[in-house]
Chains A and B, each alone.
Chain A
Amino acid sequence: MAARIARIDRRHDGWRQRFIRERYLWLMALPGLLYFIIYKYVPLMGIVIAFQKYKPVQGFLHSDWVGLNNFRRIFDTPEIGKYFINTAIISCYQIVFAFTVPIFIAIMLHEIRSAAFKKIAQTLLYLPHFLSWVVVAGIFYLLFQSDGQINHLLASWGLHPINILSNKDNFRGMLVLQVIWKESGWGTIIYLAALTGIAPELYEAAKMDGAGRLRQIFHITLPGIRSTILILFILRLGSVLDVGFEQIYLMLNASVSDVGEVLDTYVYRMGVVNGDFSFTTAVGLLKGLVGMMLIVTANRLARAFGERGVY
């Protein structure tokens, strides 16, 4: 009753009274708000340097404005096309493979009856996520370099040595496999949570109707997590041009830079190392714009198909 009255009152109050009444809620939200304002919104002002010829001594208050020159330069730089294509291809691989693998794993885990085995499997699958990319890359180098363990083993079996670290043909595939190995287990968590939300009665009813395991998966499990998959997919599209700077930077070498150099590594090289801040900010901004357009489009599509979308 009291709650109802409060709700009615609220409608008639000005924002001042509402604010006073909800002051504790605001207080609780304050740290989060401050975090976003200080670390996410204030730095957004740095974007202005994409429209300047930014010089550190002059700062962004006194650097010269150059309009869209930096953006024009993007389209005049032949490498960027190549890096964009590399980024897009690696990203596609990641969406097709690295994005879907956790769904399979989550469903498989869900089907496991033995609780103990499930726990152990989950723990083992989560573990690689906690290794930093530096460690993963280090392990890869030690295992696969020309005098690494794998090649020693192959040699002792009389087989030909393999070279996957500096081989253009498999570089992208290797990147995606690394991502799958490292992140798939961790990626299952949200799906597993969604799976617990499916009403057990549905499975019982299906069993009564004679549905086998596969049928249950296709007609109950998958539809049950469809909206979760969709939301994660839309969010993933927003970072479609972020393909994992750390990982690629660590694995990149002169032999594979033709296929492995991506926008992030280029921005790092030109911006941080060579000090071309304005230009690389423009590249980064454009990258963000592409991501935003994809999110908006995907979200519209999702809503058009009757799903809820992310907003």
Chain B
Amino acid sequence: MKIGKGLTIATALMLTGAMLTACGDKGAGANAANASGKPSAATEKKYKISAMSILYGAAPPDNGTGKKAIEDRYHIEYNYIPVASGEYNNKLGVTLASGDVPDAVLFPYLDAVYFSSINSGQFLPLDAYLNDSAKYPNLAKLPKDVMDTLKSNGHVYGVPRLRGIPGATIVLRKDWLDKLGLQVPTTYDELYDVMKAFSEKDPDGNGKKDTYGLAAGVSNGFPFISLMAAMHAGPSVGWVEDGKGGIVPGEFAPNNKEAVGYLAKLYKDGLIAPDFAIKKDAQIEDDFLLGKAGVVGNWGYTSFNKERLEKARAVDPKFEVVAIPPLKAPDGSEGGYVKGAGFFGVFALNKELEKDPGKLDKVLHMLDDQLGDDGATFFKWGVEGVHYKVENGQKVVTDLGKTEGPNQYQLTNHANEGDWILLSSDTPETTALKQNSFAVAMQGKPYTSQDVGLYSATNAEKGAELTKNVVDGLVTVITGQKPIDYLDQMFADWKSRGGSQILTEMNEAWKARK
């Protein structure tokens, strides 16, 4: 089943923002190489390293100055292959099938494709290197929680791209709230009232009824992770504990009828666009940014960046947003948001690298370096005078730094904590928004999607199709074509088509991990 894809997408989007920022230290390349005890560049063999990663927004230039700086830093020939996020899964499938696999490949999700690739021996188990704290100090320091999640068949196959644990929150149009004289909602009923006002009381003041309460759509799943979080059920939250000592997909969790029923009510009362099913990630975000909807249910801290604010303010200069604390659960108890897994995607290394220890060491060193303070600083800022300049003792990113700084070609990054959640492009406003989101996401009783990193063979084979059926079924319930009790039939159907087996396997894996 889908695992909080909304969140991952949101995180990814933010990251994009992160990657857009650029920065650097002049001569950092040479210094870093020395600092990490590497032999000097002149005597070292120049390896050709290829890496495929996900791209949000515009592609960096093929021969950008940032890429050059990276090549100098590591003394490599760097073949960076950025693939647009919408196309990533297709490209990944084709790349794996072609047999011509780059040295490092990003798997954005621990999904069927990931598990079948590692099970077929295309990628290298990394345990030995990840524990070698002498050679790779930063890899050895990767958070244990994350690494436990990544363990499959007793091995770790990927170096994670670390993200903050705080996940997505409900985000509202603050200027609309103020204009209509409404309070920040604290319960689902209050949120309903806010959305109703957003769609009926003309919050944008253009005299037309052309706004909706909630930005909704269907990509691979629904963008409702933070909206559904306090329900402990419903789409987007991943697998949750069923209260009977096991786990179950959120869509079929005990409280699922209340959760999905809430969405159905929003739809019935016109607070969601009638044809929301045609909207994909990009349109969902646009609906919120461009003033068609007042609430969004999958924005994490990385969502708050300058590009988004600028885009929104080009349409409405008064655009203000606020991330709100978790709603109370329907039974009145304290609610919480779904926590992030602590990473978004992992880099797996081509098995062929085993044959060339020198090259393997180089790839591992690159990943290790990018996780550490020194490397992360280099990637954040780039080269002084090129990607950033120092004004009044402050580093300021240059235009070149924004478009082709090293972060445009970055693989992994520093652990997201403290100031490391900030990008070189962050303004005081986005900094405040990020820090606020980071904080409210952890208020109340945050919890984790239970399925992240769990492997079920049946899920790998049939999961994608079953999930699709569930998404289609949920749309018919939300749009009122089927009654809410249809969820029971969907669950029965899901189980009979292989879901029972998935349930068993996931629960076994979950108990084994506990």
Contact = CB atoms under 8 A, between A and B. Distances in A.
A78 interface: yes
Interface in A163-215: 163, 165-166, 168
B85 interface: no
Interface in A250-279: 253-258, 269-270, 272-277
A274 B464 contact: yes
Contacts of B121: 57
Contacts of A253: 218, 277-278
Nearest to B462: A77
Given A145-B278, A277-B97, A258 B472 contact: yes
B123 to A, nearest CB: 10
Given A254-B218, A255-B479, A269-B464, A147 B93 contact: no
Contacts of B99: 56-57, 59
Nearest to A54: B97
B98 interface: yes
Interface majority SS (helix, strand, loop, mixed), chain B: helix
A307 interface: no
Contacts of A272: 90, 93-94
B86 to A, nearest CB: 12
Given A56-B120, A274-B112, A275-B96, A254 B471 contact: yes
A128 interface: no
Interface majority SS (helix, strand, loop, mixed), chain A: loop
Contacts of B475: 254-255
A275 B206 CA distance: 49
A166 B278 contact: yes
A174 to B, nearest CB: 12
A78 B497 contact: yes
B79 interface: no
A233 interface: no
Nearest to B493: A78
Interface string B96-119: 111100000000000011001000
Interface centre among A163, A165, A257, A274 (most CB of B within 10 A): A274
Interface in B473-503: 474-476, 479, 481, 497
A254 B277 contact: yes
Nearest to A276: B461
Interface centre among B99, B218, B277, B481 (most CB of A within 10 A): B277
Contacts of B97: 56, 275, 277
B274 interface: yes
A255 B481 CA distance: 10
Bin chain B's interface residue count.
35 or more
Contacts of A269: 464-465, 468
A257 B277 CA distance: 10
Interface in B206-248: 210, 218
Contacts of B90: 272-273
Interface centre among B99, B274, B278 (most CB of A within 10 A): B278
B424 to A, nearest CB: 35
Given A56-B97, A141-B278, A273-B89, A146 B122 contact: no
A129 interface: no
B273 interface: yes
Contact of B273 (A78, A141, A146, A257): A146
B263 to A, nearest CB: 13
B464 A273 contact: yes
A275 B275 contact: no
Interface in B452-466: 461, 464-465
A288 interface: no
Given A79-B465, A254-B471, A255-B479, A275 B274 contact: no
A61 B124 CA distance: 23
B292 interface: yes
Contacts of A258: 472, 476
Given A273-B93, A273-B464, A55 B210 contact: no
Contacts of B497: 78
B465 A270 contact: yes
B275 A146 contact: yes
Interface residues of A, number: 30
A256 B472 CA distance: 8
A161 interface: yes
A146 B210 CA distance: 10
Contacts of A274: 93, 112-113, 464-465
A57 B464 contact: no
A34 B423 CA distance: 54
A269 B99 CA distance: 20
A257 B472 contact: yes
B209 to A, nearest CB: 9
Interface string B66-80: 000000000000000
A269 B274 CA distance: 26
Contact of A275 (B93, B218, B469, B472): B93
A147 B292 CA distance: 9
Interface string A233-251: 0000000000000000000
Given A253-B218, A254-B218, A273-B90, A166 B277 contact: yes
A307 to B, nearest CB: 44
Given A57-B99, A254-B218, A161 B274 contact: yes
A56 B98 contact: yes
Given A56-B98, A147-B292, A269-B464, A275 B278 contact: no
B16 to A, nearest CB: 22
A59 B122 CA distance: 12
Given A56-B122, A254-B472, A273-B89, A165 B113 contact: no
A297 to B, nearest CB: 33
Contacts of B471: 254
A274 B461 CA distance: 9
Contacts of B96: 56, 275
A272 B97 CA distance: 9
Contacts of B112: 274-275
B113 A57 contact: no
Nearest to A268: B90
A59 B97 CA distance: 8
Interface centre among A147, A256, A275, A276 (most CB of B within 10 A): A275
A165 B479 CA distance: 14
Contacts of B474: 254
Contacts of A163: 274-275
A89 B510 CA distance: 44
B275 A165 contact: yes
A8 B118 CA distance: 67
B171 to A, nearest CB: 21
Closest 3 CB pairs of A and B: A255-B277, A254-B475, A166-B275
6 contacts: A79-B469, A269-B468, A273-B93, A273-B464, A275-B97, A275-B116
Given A79-B465, A166-B274, A273-B464, 4 more contacts: A56-B120, A254-B277, A255-B277, A275-B97
